[in-house]
Amino acid sequence: MSDMYNESNGDTHGDGRHGEGADEHERTFAALPPAHGRGFAQSWWGQAWLKALEDTALDLAQLKAGRRLARAGAVGAVSVRPGRITAVVQDPDGTPHRSDVLLQQLSEDEWDRFLGMAVERAGHIAALLDREMPPHLVEDAAAAGVELLPGIGDLEPECDCDAWDHCGHTAALCYQVARLLDQDPFVLFLMRGRAERELLDELQVRSVAPAEAEEEPAQEQEGAQEGVDADEAYAEGAILPPLPDLPPLPSEPGLPPSLDTEAEPAPGLDVAALEFLAAQAAVEARRMLAEALSPGHKQKPVEQELTLDEDAVRLAVVAPVAVAGRLATAAGRGKDGLALAVRAWEFGGPAALAVLEEEWTPEADALARARAALDAAWDDDDRPQLRAARNRWTVVGSDAQLRHGSDGRWWPYRKERGRWTPAGPAAHDPATALAAVTSGE
């Protein structure tokens, strides 16, 4: 049935791309194989879709049924059009059901705001024109009043099983979209009403227009520059020279002054440590300058200042052995404790360091969603048994653990030489994080 569905919608490549001349406002993705024993979505966009879906779900039982169907490979070819996704979903007994899920398209005003936001941020427009979808696009779009991911009530179901609301079939279709976003995040734009080509064409036009608009006044000004009498200029007062252009960003951090002199250093002065701190201050200054000069910087939230302990760990990541020892003593961590903190920092900065050290009790609904996701990730016989203690879930009989961060993400941990040690970056899906730490067992 899935092959016939692909033919009828003009998909000639099997990955959702149409042949030349096909309608770019409809893409069809071939049925995907079962997805047992691993996290359901792998990419940031796939996991973000799952999180939005599960955070806004009203019926966890239907979500669980949908996950099972999707994992079992019961979802046929998926057709994606503006405002609608469609697929045939089979029950465990083989009964097929045509299922549709409707998603509100963005209005013309919302698209205008989104495109304007993207053009203002050089990083976004460069990535989009290269067919990349940066994760920060969601936050920046929301700041412009445009929600890309679905919210409560945004996903409207239609299924021939006659369910009055979401059923297992439409839930399975929603879960399958996460895997489609793994393949191509631009599917989200198509669901919201814009085909990839028309979106990129509009971005290209908008990116060229401001540059041309800036050139014309400059050319006019060059031809109009005439001398002004000094007395007249002084009397006018309002005639002021334009501010100079911002200086270019240095290609590399500046070099601190050399402390290699013939004079002996003062007692207690560690010259190597001082030179290291000066060099790192130059690196950090250049990073901050690059951010300050980036487009849209004034709209971005102010970074939270690091604590002295966090800054010590940040420095220890790149510090030579001798300096790292002093940082360990100053931070009161000891050599092994600092090494553990550095490992956490390398996986996720301050958020990962907080997860290493803090214990807290998550809200009940977040834990319920996590348990449902873990239940659906493995068959009954293979499902690992977890022992929960506040935000730390340990696999019984194993050296694997999950830790829940205050930002809603899950962090994999492994016990090494008797200590729980960070084992990888965070994931929104707890099953993905657990698979990352248990896959080698």
Strand partners, 157: 101
In this structure, the strands spanning 400-404 and 392-395 are antiparallel
pLDDT digits (tens, 9 = 90+) for 327-336: 888 778 888 8
Amino acid letter for position 63: L
Amino acid letter for position 79: S
On the question of pLDDT at 352 being above 50, the answer is yes
Q: Which of 333, 312, 332 is nearest to 323 (CA)?
A: 312
On the question of pLDDT at 138 being above 60, the answer is yes
Is the whole model's pTM more than 0.95, yes or no? no
Residue 43's pLDDT band, with cuts at 50, 70 and 90, is confident
Segment 215-220 shows an average pLDDT of: 48
pLDDT digits (tens, 9 = 90+) for 232-250: 555 555 545 666 777 788 8
Residue 100's pLDDT band, with cuts at 50, 70 and 90, is very high
In a 3-state reduction of DSSP, which class is residue 412? Answer: strand
On the question of pLDDT at 52 being above 70, the answer is yes
Predicted pLDDT of residue 20: 38
| 393 contact partners, CB below 8 Å, separation of at least 6 | 386, 387, 401, 402, 403, 404, 430
Segment 210-228 shows an average pLDDT of: 50
Cβ(83)–Cβ(106) below 8 Å: no
On the question of pLDDT at 396 being above 80, the answer is yes
Nearest 5°: the CA angle 396, 399, 400 is 80
C-alpha 303/C-alpha 297 separation (Å) is 11
Predicted pLDDT of residue 393: 92
Count of C-beta atoms within a 10 Å radius of residue 19: 9
Residue showing tokens 């009790």: 361
Mean pLDDT of the chain: 82
Cβ(199)–Cβ(82) below 8 Å: no
